[in-house]
Amino acid sequence: MRTVCIVGVGLSNWGEVWKESFRDLHTSAALKAIESAGVDHLDSLYVGCMSGGLFVGQEHLASLLTDYMGMRGLPATRVESACASGGMAIRSAFIEVASGISDIVMASGVEKMTDVDGDEATYALATAADQEFEVFHGATFPGLYAMMAHAHMAKYGTTRDMLSKVSVKNHNNGSMNPDAQYPFKVSMEQVAKSVMVADPLHILDCSPITDGAAAVIVCSEDVAKSLGKPYVKIIGSGIGTDTIQLAQREDITTIKAATLAANAAFKMSGKTIDDIDFCEVHDCFTIAEIIIAESIGKYAPGAAGPAILNGETTLEGSFPINTSGGLKSKGHPVGATGVAQVIEVYKQLTGQAEGERQLKSSPKIGMTQNMGGSGGSSVVHIMEVA
Amino acid sequence: MRTVCIVGVGLSNWGEVWKESFRDLHTSAALKAIESAGVDHLDSLYVGCMSGGLFVGQEHLASLLTDYMGMRGLPATRVESACASGGMAIRSAFIEVASGISDIVMASGVEKMTDVDGDEATYALATAADQEFEVFHGATFPGLYAMMAHAHMAKYGTTRDMLSKVSVKNHNNGSMNPDAQYPFKVSMEQVAKSVMVADPLHILDCSPITDGAAAVIVCSEDVAKSLGKPYVKIIGSGIGTDTIQLAQREDITTIKAATLAANAAFKMSGKTIDDIDFCEVHDCFTIAEIIIAESIGKYAPGAAGPAILNGETTLEGSFPINTSGGLKSKGHPVGATGVAQVIEVYKQLTGQAEGERQLKSSPKIGMTQNMGGSGGSSVVHIMEVA
């Protein structure tokens, strides 16, 4: 297996993007990534998208998007694992370059979520849960994560303040990110008093519905060196799955798929969680960030909430989490999220994070954790400065 | 890159399978493939599915199906390229094994198409075409292929009899396939007099709507040898894309994506079309088989129809096409089709094709051509006896 690098990145506009279509968003991110890498061609494309069928009535995405990039004929594949689709695209590109079959591969993700009304969006997202055993009975994602939150609070004494602190921290980070959908700061009180969605989760515990796309250029180290642009190495890639049905899990206060994915990535890279300087995690809800910080092995079960409350995961803390603002503030176009996480790690490792959110600690190794549904799948990547 | 092999195969029931769900169908095919290969574990799964979201309201497929196989935790990814999704799963598994990341990977495909009514199925399938420039204006797949048929007839003099002969031949082959959805024979007259769907395509020019799943075990040659079961080598893998919008093509009497995919597979394998003994092609409509036989370079433009009419592509002919019965007779559960094509080539090369359809010519090299939509994507694999 060859060393695999990331050398160029691009984000479309993120938010409620009324004036750009599904295909426009992807083209925008893709062309920015190509320009920033300075590559003159691609060997193939992997695009992550959760549900083009339900959100915009469009499957056969990879060929369509390749055409709109002006690259008809390019080998192109769409990958899907619900909200972890973007991470899967990164992994597929990583494997193709590692194999030697291709030298320059684009990994991208896209979702256009606001072209349907709220009920339809909730239905589309719910297809990441078990249709026959969860959705049929009325479960939605806020409800599923609310159950996980209650269980975690009951078992470990996790508090309202710990949940709120995740939101406050991520909105603070996002306020320095020009690409964030909601770049405003929130206070502990604002989070706790915001509208209730599914007890104990308030609206400011929930990531938003977002239109957006993200793209990166994944390439061999020879190519990365020749381009003369900043690049990082992907030193670990891991994926894991679990039953997508919450009721079938042994323990809903942990995400086993994330543990499996992290352990696989650690094994490939020869690193441990102690070698990781900072991490982007899948904070679709505030409770998810707490559970993931434990599931990837950074904190013992029940210890992440107190650590977050103590400020350990802020920009100045010992283990910054979601310097980008996370899904909470940056936004969550589900298919694009996993790719955007990698973009944040790339920016931090190459000193390109905008404004005051660039870590002062000169980080050497960063990690991403992307998640599907209520934890039925997870993808972890570990990147190191070149 | 390592040599990659196929060592075990499994098909679920195919047809209108009222008593088995989406997840049942996949589990059935997957467990048969595992049993036939004799493997005691898998390293990962790639599952092709066109639209779980629109057909059964279920995304996040790979994790769900892994769980139902009894393999929670297994790395698993869903890939999609409309009706070429199964071929994409084979290719992804091929790359992962070739890279050395994994030794034993399942490639599978599944589609449950009859749980929605006819209008919904037509809509779901139409999402493989361009939603904004084709579907919005009323185009459906029979209509798109009818335009291709008219253009081919006008340019090359392709006749009604040539179209009919594709159907007659494939139903004849399918009559010997115990897995075929429609294992009956049809006459030239029956095809020509069957109900008109979209002029010039009659119902017996069209492949059916099918529930079904297919799975194969893709592995390294070391593993294949150690199992002591019949296996074949994948010596070439190629994919190609084109605009999914028919109106944007330079020429609608040829499928450029298939030409690109075939050429890429020929290049990897060091073979030419003259080295191929037989082929499974994507006959979603009779005209498609004619156009593909030309696009992969076997016949000059306009020469495939006469050759098929002359019997060159029958079981006894010089270049048998669709010995399985093809999509026309065997059935077309869109996500599973590309995998089932590989199963037929595996069976023919290892002497396991049921009954009288086993080729008497002792074929050494077989090829599959799987296609998305009206030709917006194509995947080609070339396999050789071990």
Q: What is the pLDDT of residue B118?
A: 85
Nearest CA in chain B to A46: B79
For residue B171, give the nearest of B196, B190, B144, B198 by alpha carbon.
B190
- Contact between B72 and A129 using a beta-carbon 8 Å cutoff: no
Q: Which residues of A touch B53 (CB under 8 A)?
A: 51, 53-54, 124, 127
For residue B355, give the nearest of B230, B180, B176, B175 by alpha carbon.
B176
- Contact between B100 and A1 using a beta-carbon 8 Å cutoff: yes
- Distance from C-alpha of A253 to C-alpha of B377, rounded to nearest angstrom: 43
For residue A209, give the nearest of A374, A28, A87, A50 by alpha carbon.
A50
Q: What share of chain A is helix, strand, coil (3-state, %, to 5)?
A: 40, 20, 40
Fold of B4-117+210-232: Peroxisomal Thiolase; Chain A, domain 1 (3.40.47)
For residue B282, give the nearest of B381, B188, B161 by alpha carbon.
B381
Q: What is the pLDDT of residue A288?
A: 98
- pLDDT tens per residue, range B215-250: 999 999 999 999 999 999 999 999 999 999 999 999
Q: What is the pLDDT of residue A358?
A: 98
Tell me if A330 sits within 8 A of A177, measured CB to CB. Answer: yes
Ramachandran region, residue A308 (left: φ > 0; alpha: ψ -120 to 50; beta: rest): alpha
Nearest CA in chain B to A78: B80
Q: Give domain B129-206+235-385's CATH superfamily.
A: Thiolase/Chalcone synthase (3.40.47.10)
Tell me if B72 sits within 8 A of B63, measured CB to CB. Answer: no
Q: Average of pLDDT values for B246-263? A: 97
Tell me if B340 sits within 8 A of B370, measured CB to CB. Answer: no
- β partners of residue B384: B233, B365
Q: What is the pLDDT of residue B355?
A: 86
Mean pLDDT, chain B, rounded, equals 97
Say what the pTM is. Answer: 0.97
Q: What is the pLDDT of residue A7?
A: 97
Amino acid (1-letter code) at residue B143: G
Q: Tell me, yes or no, if the two domains A4-117+210-232 and A128-208+236-385 fold the same way.
A: yes
Q: Is A287 on the interface with B (CB under 8 A)?
A: no
For residue A251, give the nearest of A156, A372, A129 by alpha carbon.
A156
B72 has pLDDT over 90: yes
Nearest CA in chain B to A97: B99
Fold of A128-208+236-385: Peroxisomal Thiolase; Chain A, domain 1 (3.40.47)
- Contact between A241 and B74 using a beta-carbon 8 Å cutoff: yes
Tell me if residue A139 falls in helix, strand or coil.
coil
| DSSP-derived secondary structure letter, A20 | S
> Beta strand pairing status for A232-241 and B44-48?
unpaired
- pLDDT tens per residue, range B21-55: 999 999 999 999 999 999 999 999 999 999 999 99
Query: CB neighbours of A311 closer than 8 A, spacing ≥ 6?
Result: A317
**B 310-339 residues inside an 8 A Cβ radius of A:** none
Q: What is the pLDDT of residue B1?
A: 81
Q: Average of pLDDT values for B63-71? A: 97
Q: What is the pLDDT of residue B251?
A: 97
Distance between terminal CA atoms of chain A? 17
Domain boundaries, chain A: 4-117+210-232, 128-208+236-385
Amino acid (1-letter code) at residue A315: L
- Distance from C-alpha of B53 to C-alpha of A89, rounded to nearest angstrom: 19
**pLDDT category of residue B348 using cuts at 50, 70 and 90:** very high
Q: What is the pLDDT of residue A1?
A: 82
Q: How many CB atoms lie within 10 A of CB A138?
A: 8
Catalytic residue at B381?
Answer: no
Tell me if A383 sits within 8 A of A364, measured CB to CB. Answer: no
Tell me if residue B376 falls in helix, strand or coil.
coil
Instruction: Give the minimum alpha-carbon distance from B35 to chain A in angstroms, rounded to a whole number.
Output: 23
Residue A283 CA from chain centroid, whole number: 8
Element (H, E) at B369: strand B365-372
Q: Is B376 on the interface with A (CB under 8 A)?
A: yes
B257 has pLDDT over 90: yes
For residue A256, give the nearest of A271, A266, A237, A243 by alpha carbon.
A243
- β partners of residue B378: B240, B371
Q: Which of A24, A49, A77 to mutate to test the interface with B (most CBs of B within 10 A)?
A: A77
Tokens standing for residue B110? 């599944």
Above 0.90 for ipTM, yes or no? yes
**One pLDDT digit (tens) per residue for chain A, 386 residues:** 899 999 999 999 999 999 999 999 999 999 999 999 999 999 999 999 999 999 999 999 999 999 999 999 999 999 999 999 999 999 999 999 999 999 999 999 999 999 998 889 999 999 999 999 999 999 999 999 999 999 999 999 999 999 999 999 999 999 999 999 999 999 999 999 999 999 999 999 999 999 999 999 999 999 999 999 999 999 999 999 999 999 999 999 999 999 999 999 999 999 999 999 999 999 999 999 999 999 999 999 999 999 999 999 999 999 999 999 999 999 999 999 999 999 999 999 999 999 899 999 999 999 999 999 999 999 999 999 99
- β partners of residue B139: none
- pLDDT tens per residue, range B73-120: 999 999 999 999 999 999 999 999 999 999 999 999 999 999 998 889
| DSSP-derived secondary structure letter, B366 | E
- β partners of residue A385: A232
Tell me if residue B60 falls in helix, strand or coil.
coil
Tell me if A366 sits within 8 A of A349, measured CB to CB. Answer: yes
- Distance from C-alpha of A354 to C-alpha of A325, rounded to nearest angstrom: 12
Tell me if A223 sits within 8 A of A231, measured CB to CB. Answer: no
